Amino acid sequence: MPKNELNNKLNKLKHVQVYNKIFNMIQDGTYSPGMQLPSEPELAGQLNVSRATLRKSLALLQEDHLVKNIRGKGNFIRENSSNLSENGYENRQHPIKTCLTSKITEVELEFRVEVPAEAITASLKQETPVVVIADRWYHTDDGPLAYTLSFIPIELISDAEISLHDTKQLLNFIEEGIYQEGISSHSQSHLGYATSGNFSATKYTLSDHGQFILIQETIFKQEKILMCNKHYVPIEHFELSITSH
């Protein structure tokens, strides 16, 4: 192989070499879980590479769940992954708790009771005099990062003996109770790309980039729809794990 061609090939692979250096530093404890990496200029200088090369290496480390970028703060070594069998999407639970890469510190709830518009009735595939429309914002140490919009027939609230005067009871039911056996039997989810997350969330800007994964979730009891959800997660904070058997 001609020398120039070899040099070009090695230069193209330089980001892989830098990846390996940082990987080894993580493995030997130089960078431990939770630790913040030096700033890009400082780290690039330490490794004697350009910032462009370093960014490629960091992107690969993020893809491999070793490094996490926190908006406005920098790059951090990720904590050891928890058991995927508990957190995978194949387990029926709230999708945002499965897919959001940051730990949820608070769920903010607001709701209203309205006569359903035709579009809501079509989604629920049933007639109901009124629906509970619930907004939920998911706060983390990095601020609000995800949002859920829910449509709930009033009959479900009545059957589950939920008091709309008890916000905590309602929140626990739509966050966890609805997914329990005996209340629902299964759910269906459709995942797609959306740019409507920020204006749908209304109160907060969830992403500076405005790019979201939209999870449209329908929860059933046998053939009957119990609840329809639209979950918005910024692409940069979305991660999906599925265990197949």
Answer whether residue 242 is part of any domain: no
Burial class of 124 by CB neighbour count within 10 A (0 to 12, 13 to 18, 19+): buried
Answer whether residue 154 is part of any domain: yes
Domain end residue (candidates: 30, 62, 77):
77
Pair 221, 130 in one domain: yes
Q: Is the pLDDT of residue 233 over 80?
A: yes
The domain in which residue 51 lies consists of 3-77
Answer whether residue 245 is part of any domain: no
Q: Is the pLDDT of residue 213 over 60?
A: yes
Pair 21, 96 in one domain: no
Q: What is the pLDDT of residues 83-126, one digit of tens each?
A: 443 566 677 889 999 999 889 999 999 999 999 999 999 999 99
| Domains: count for the chain | 2
Domain end residue (candidates: 77, 93, 128):
77
Pair 27, 92 in one domain: no
Pair 90, 73 in one domain: no
d(CA 196, CA 23) in angstroms, rounded, equals: 37
Count of C-beta atoms within a 10 Å radius of residue 4: 8
Regarding pTM above 0.85, the answer is no
- Kindly state the percentage of the chain with pLDDT values over 90: 71
d(CA 186, CA 114) in angstroms, rounded, equals: 26
